[in-house]
Amino acid sequence: MIKISPSPTLAIDAKVKELQKKGINIINLSLGEPDFPTPDYIKKSAILALKNDYTHYTQTQGILELRQVICEKLKKDNHILYYPSEIIVGVGTKQILYEAFQVLCNKNDEVLIPKPLWSTYVEQIKLAGGRPVFKLSNKTKIILINSPRNPDGNVLSLADIKEIAEIAIKNKIYIISDEIYEKIIYDKKHISIASLNEKIKNLTITINGFSKAYAMTGWRVGYAAGPRKIIETMSALQSQTTSNTCSISQYAALGALLGPQKDLIKMVKEFNKRRKYVCQKLSEIKSLSFTVPDGAFYIFIKINSKNSVKFCHDLLKIAKVAVVPGEAFLTPGYFRLSFATSLDNLTKGLERIKKFCD
Ligand code: PLP
């Protein structure tokens, strides 16, 4: 346990809050959550659940109505057929990922993750006794894909996904597909790997959650869909740890999927506006380079040095702008800028970054 690193993004957020408390004006571009409130219709579902006294333990895998609606969502949006028995709802995508690694990893099993990557995967794989690796080998047990990806907004193409599926089927490798940014996508289309064919579906755990698409980070609802035996084992683990996620949150999530999706569309439109603005402003800074993100609300920016921890430290100290160093994504020489904040904040932040870099 001593070897587990705490979440670097949460640590930066704590540092920012500490400086802000001292009255220092910090522009925080490190955030990993939408800056929008949870839509009203979702809050109303939660209030109704409270009024109806839905305040007790639920089934470990989650209330049946929610799992049924998740199945409908997966059929309609992702073209994958699952039964409610093949779904588990947990305390955020983070817990669901944790359970998936615990269930699938034996000691020293290799989990292949493309870089840059979200560091939680690495720590959770280590907790499960597995080994995070960055190259395919004959010990690879799982390939983890995350599209759109944190931290660079990369979206896998159909050709990429087909190739990964072929490798997985040929070598009997499991796929964990973290699709939490599925809805936050701009010019491209999201494709779920499990939708390709039955063979890859039988090897895949499709993971998603409500945090990003519905601005529900605090409610803690995530889910997995996959082969029944794996889901049942994840459920056994969950039954001995957190039991179910909060009953009220489950009804809120049910409301989120059943309700109108216009808040989501509005939010993504706003993110897209910001994305274009940030890319335009960043392209005016000579010492920085980046690839335009196709999804999520981050840009991963290359700097002129390998030591991005120092760059980010100085940026915070001198320019009073908080971003996340590439080291947090096992990719030094970069930093992650989040545009999940107002255009006003982005304008001020980018002015400060330009001045600092120039
Ligand atoms: N997966 C990725 C790639 C993320 O970036 C995050 C949060 O930042 C999560 C999962 C966790 O989401 P949740 O709030 O559902 O635990």
- Could you tell which of 33, 118, 223, 246 is best to mutate to test the pocket of ligand 1, judged by most ligand atoms within 8 Å of the CB? 118
pTM of the model: 0.96
Q: Tell me, in angstroms, the distance from the centre of ligand 1 to residue 207's CA.
A: 10
- Could you tell which of 180, 182, 330, 338 is best to mutate to test the pocket of ligand 1, judged by most ligand atoms within 8 Å of the CB? 180
Mean pLDDT score, 156-171: 98
Q: What is the pLDDT of residues 181-215, one digit of tens each?
A: 999 999 899 999 999 999 999 999 999 999 999 99
Predicted local distance difference test score (pLDDT) of residue 1: 80
Strand 204-209, strand 222-225: pairing: antiparallel
Q: What is the pLDDT of residues 67-116, one digit of tens each?
A: 999 999 999 999 999 999 999 999 999 999 999 999 999 999 999 999 99
Q: Tell me, in angstroms, the distance from the centre of ligand 1 to residue 180's CA.
A: 7
Tokens standing for residue 111: 């989990």
What rounded mean pLDDT belongs to the chain? 96
Residue recorded with tokens 């959650």: 209
Distance between CA atoms of 228 and 312, rounded to whole angstroms? Answer: 44
Are 308 and 326 spatial neighbours (Cβ–Cβ below 8 Å)?
yes
Would you place residue 315 in the very low, low, confident or very high pLDDT band (cuts 50, 70, 90)?
very high
Predicted local distance difference test score (pLDDT) of residue 104: 98
pLDDT value at 8 more than 80 = no
Mean pLDDT score, 245-264: 97
Q: Tell me, in angstroms, the distance from the centre of ligand 1 to residue 154's CA.
A: 15
Q: Tell me, in angstroms, the distance from the centre of ligand 1 to residue 50's CA.
A: 27
Predicted local distance difference test score (pLDDT) of residue 335: 97
Would you place residue 143 in the very low, low, confident or very high pLDDT band (cuts 50, 70, 90)?
very high
Would you place residue 9 in the very low, low, confident or very high pLDDT band (cuts 50, 70, 90)?
confident
Helices 343-357 and 262-282 cross at an angle (nearest 10°) of 20
Tokens standing for residue 288: 């920085």
pLDDT value at 10 more than 90 = no
Predicted local distance difference test score (pLDDT) of residue 230: 98
Cα 209 to the center of its chain, rounded Å: 8
Cβ(100) to ligand 1 under 6 A? Answer: no
Amino acid letter for position 152: D
pLDDT value at 4 more than 90 = no
* CA dist 357 → 283, 304, 312 (Å): 12, 10, 11
Q: Tell me, in angstroms, the distance from the centre of ligand 1 to residue 208's CA.
A: 9
Question: Which residue's CA lies nearest to atom 4 of ligand 1?
Answer: 150
